[in-house]
Amino acid sequence: MLLCRLFQLRFLRFVILERPFVALLLLTLPLAYRGAEAQSPARNSAPAQPKPSTITIREGSFEIKFPPMLIRCERRDGENPDVWSPEHGCAASIPVCDNGGHSGEVLVCLAYPLEEFRGSELQAAALSVSRLDGYNSASDCAKRWPSRDTRDIHAQRIGTLNLQAATAVERETSHVAERSLYRVFHSRACYELDITLATALPSAFAAEDVPRNLTEEERRKVKASLMEALRSFRFLK
């Protein structure tokens, strides 16, 4: 045992005096190993959770799922139920979420983000879900339409629902709202689901600021995203 210890000491002395580079390497290896071990991720760490492909809203007797790209518009003013946030996307000269722009109380409003359409005529595009007061039968729900401009009234099945569908166009001096309307009577209440595209006419701008028109492809893209959410609508009871 003593001879072995003497041999180790002589070998260490030889390395330090004759091979200093080897000695330095032997001393730094443990430190390098510890540093690499500290930087490596923990083996037992949980994998990153994927972003949800849909978001679910449960509102009273129904639920609706929508892609995360859509904006959920929220009421921010308790004294004024027609003020929705964020204003950019949830508000327009002709309302897309406000109760005043619909046949009843708006329960949910989902808007398409406008960033990719900056400089265009589009002011807002949204899907709203309303419960209509005073419609006491399925016949009332299907036949009573407040706007005389309501057109193309027909039965349509979307998802799990048998709906009464229609279209309407609302015009103001320099603005237009195109609406696709869908109604269903459930548990003694009439519900209306609207997809609305609100645009500004050139007359709303100075000549040098007139926005470009949306292409048909862009219109289809916006409506398809909102329709995806509408298709997911279902009653819970």
Domains (range + CATH), the chain: 2-39 (no CATH), 55-235 (3.40.1000.10)
Residue-averaged pLDDT of the chain: 81
- How do residues 77-127 score in pLDDT, each as one tens digit? 666 667 788 988 898 999 898 776 566 789 999 999 999 999 999 999 999
In this predicted structure, what is the pLDDT of residue 211? 92
In this predicted structure, what is the pLDDT of residue 46? 52
In this predicted structure, what is the pLDDT of residue 103? 65
- How do residues 33-45 score in pLDDT, each as one tens digit? 455 444 444 444 5
In this predicted structure, what is the pLDDT of residue 47? 54
165 pLDDT more than 50 = yes
Q: Residue range 128-157: average pLDDT? A: 91
In this predicted structure, what is the pLDDT of residue 13? 56
- How do residues 3-53 score in pLDDT, each as one tens digit? 455 445 454 454 445 555 544 444 444 444 455 444 444 444 555 555 556
Task: Count Cβ atoms below 10 Å from residue 3 Cβ, excluding itself.
Answer: 7
In this predicted structure, what is the pLDDT of residue 201? 94
Q: Residue range 178-205: average pLDDT? A: 94
Q: Which of 229, 230, 219, 228 is nearest to 117 (CA)?
A: 219
Longest dimension (CA), the chain: 110
In this predicted structure, what is the pLDDT of residue 83? 79
In this predicted structure, what is the pLDDT of residue 102? 64
Lowest-confidence pick of 4-13, 118-127, 130-139, 184-193: 4-13
CA distance 111 to 46: 34
Q: pTM to 2 decimals?
A: 0.74
214 pLDDT more than 90 = yes
